[in-house]
Every structure is written in C-alpha cells, then in structure tokens.
Chains A and B, each alone.
Chain A
C-alpha cells in the first residue's frame, strides 16, 4: 500500500500536503506528529472515508482493513461480545482475545458500564478479531490505558499482527519503539 502526493483541505485549510509514503506488506509503520498534523485525516484517506483533493492511495488487490478509530465507536445497546461479533468475528476467538486483553469477565457487559480504558481494549479486540484482515490501522489505541495494561496490549499486538501491515498513529515516540515500527513524521 502506498500514497502518492496526497493533499487534503478542509474549509480552505490544508490539513495534509503532498504526502507520499510506502507501507510495505507486513511492515509496521508509525505516523508520528503533533495534534492537527493530519494523522487522522491520512488514516481516513487510507480507509476511503475521505476523498483527496489531489494525489491517490494505491491499495494491494486483496486489502481488508481493520481499524481502531480515534473514538471507541462501540454500540451502546450491545454487549461487549456482540460488539465484536458484529464484524463477523468468531465468538470463541472474540472471547479468547478479550481474555488476553484482561476483559474475560466482561463479555456480557454493556459498554456504558466499562471504564474508558476497558472500552479502548474492546475496540482493540474488535479490530484484532476481524476475520481475514490484512491491514490494521490504529489511531491512538493506547489512550486511557495504564502502563501495565499498555505493555500487555503491545505484547499482544506484536504476536497477533505477525505478517499484517500495521499503521499506528500516535504522538508518543516510545509506542513506535515498543512496536519496532518505522517512523514517518508529520508536521
């Protein structure tokens, strides 16, 4: 997957200018930059949720995206497990992933009863359980996680995303280092 001279403006303000990058299959890339540098816009362009003003996104033929959005985007009227199986995930795999993320007892909980960090992990579990995904896009996935939980989540990401193309959006360089990611800086 690669981007060629992507430019995107909102209301006359240039959010992303002439952005070119290559994301080789199976690589882990970290998009690093301060708030407002266009990281989330780039993710939305990659997902096809925004149309670039100029330039283009070139995808591999068999690309299947999985994503952790900047917001958790959990269905408030469905249980934790139902939120994950919504995407076609196998319930057994979902339960197993939730257990690995420390949420084994929360499968039947409603999102409204969970803390911010727990909701974030449910969003992560949903992304990791999507059947057959080839590309994983993570937009600030560690928000609200304490240090210990973050460490175990990073460990899980390293093992579960082997062979997948991972793009991590963060403003914390240590996260990129922990995942062994190539860093692309946006300013």
Chain B
C-alpha cells in the first residue's frame, strides 16, 4: 500500500513537471529556444539510431569513471598519508586548498594546454573528486575512537587487524557519503570538460555540436542522456560498492 502511494507520488510529480515543460514550450512557441518534451524525445530517438551515440556514451563513461577511480584512490592515499605525517599535511595543505578553490573552468582550460583533449575530462574529474575524498578520509581518521585503539593496543591486536577491523569500518560511513557526492560532481565537471575540449566520441562533443548547429532538441536530448547516465552510475556505485555488507552495522 505504502509502495503504491510512493509510485503514485513519483508519477504525479513527473506528470506535473512534464505539463509545466509542455506549457512553457507552447508559450515560447519556438523549438530553437525551448523544444517540447515530444521534440526532445524525437531527437533522442534519432540519436539512439546512430552508432556514434553509443560510442560517445561508452567512451564518456569510461573516461570519467577512470578519472573517478583515480581521484578516489589518490584521495584515500592523500587523506591517510597527510593524517599520518604532519610534515606531508603542511606540505600538501596549500595544494589541496588551491585545488578546492580553483574554478572548474580554469582547470579545464589549463589542462587543455597540458594534455590531449581526450585526457582533460578524466584529469578534471579526478581533480574534482580528490579533495572531496581526501577531506572525508582525513576528517574521519581524526574521529576514529581513541578508546578502541587503546583497547586494541593493550590487547596486542596486530596493526593490520586494527586497520581492517577498527579504522576502515570507522572511516567507511564518511567515505561512502563523500564517494556518492563526488560521483555526481565528477560527472558534471567531466562533461563540462568534454564540452570545452570536444574529444572524439564523447557526450560533451555531442552537446557542443548540437549547440553549434542550433539543434536545441538534440541539446536537450543529450542533456537528458547525461542526467540518466549520471543517475544510473550513482545507483550502480551505491549498489555494488557502497552498500552495507551483510552482518555489518545495523
């Protein structure tokens, strides 16, 4: 009963916003300024019939996933190392602050000078992810219960077991939240980088071309694809990697 109420609420919300979109498109009356949902779906259907579409989606997902994994790995390493060694903390603090404060567009343009256009999106994604994960891991390590660590020390628990059984489970909740947030931001920044650098076989290039040729229904269709793939990736990440292990904390 509760489930059907939820489904009805979701459907109702979708219908409401579709109606708003239809109404706005009818009021504007120009597909160049605001295409209707029907025109957008027609453009999407056209895209779905081309091989380029699938290549673009696959390569964009691979490119940005690579950036995400690299950013998460570097973030965990930096978080752990800067927590453990005060000298590294002092050394890298300005770098991390700089990466956090620099606008994404500046990154993309700078990286475009240094890297090939196919690499910029991946590097941009990893640079967006890195400080988020670093900050979460660093903070969570500082919040590991000192009494548990002291207990482990008195009981002579080996360091590797302390890491696996106390430190990692303590850090995991913060890490999970940060990893999910970082996924969304990584995808947004990566697509922005693709739009600016227009690498071959990319969603960003599809968006750029649609804009250049004033094919606004296609622009909307590509945007719809970006949103759908982002949601799917986030759900997949939560389901496969970030879900609670059986028997873990209830």
**B interface, CB within 8 angstroms of A:** 147-148, 150-157, 161, 165-166, 169-170, 247-250
Give the CA-CA distance A69 to B154 in the complex, in Å. Answer: 10
Q: Does A113 lie within 8 Å of B147, measured CB to CB?
A: no
Which chain A residues border B148 with CB–CB below 8 Å? 73, 75
Q: Is A113 within 8 A of B250, CB to CB?
A: yes
What would 14 more interface pairs be, CB under 8 Å, given A73-B151, A87-B155, A110-B249?
A49-B150, A64-B156, A65-B154, A66-B155, A67-B151, A75-B169, A77-B169, A77-B248, A86-B155, A87-B156, A112-B250, A113-B250, A126-B155, A130-B155
Q: Per-residue 0/1 for A39-82: is the Cβ within 8 Å of any B Cβ (1 yes, 0 no)?
A: 00000000101000000000000001111010101011111001
A69 to B155, CA, bound (A): 11
8 Å CB contacts to B: which residues of A70-125? Answer: 71, 73, 75-79, 82, 86-88, 108, 110, 112-113
In contact, B157 and A87 (Cβ under 8 angstroms): yes
Residues of A within 8 A of B155 (CB): 66-67, 86-87, 126, 130
Interface size on A, residues (CB 8 A): 24
Instruction: List residues of A whose CB falls within 8 A of some B CB.
Output: 47, 49, 64-67, 69, 71, 73, 75-79, 82, 86-88, 108, 110, 112-113, 126, 130
Binding site secondary structure of chain B? helix
Chain A contact residues, majority secondary structure? loop
Instruction: Given A73-B147, A86-B161, A110-B250, answer yes or no on A67-B154 (Cβ-Cβ < 8 Å).
Output: yes
B residues in contact with A67, CB < 8 Å? 151, 154-155
Q: Is the CB of A86 within 8 A of B152?
A: yes
Q: Which 5 A-B pairs have the closest CB atoms?
A: A87-B155, A77-B249, A73-B151, A77-B169, A73-B147
Q: Are A78 and B165 also in contact (CB < 8 A) when A69-B147, A110-B250, A112-B250 are?
A: yes
Chain B, Cβ-Cβ closest to A113: B250
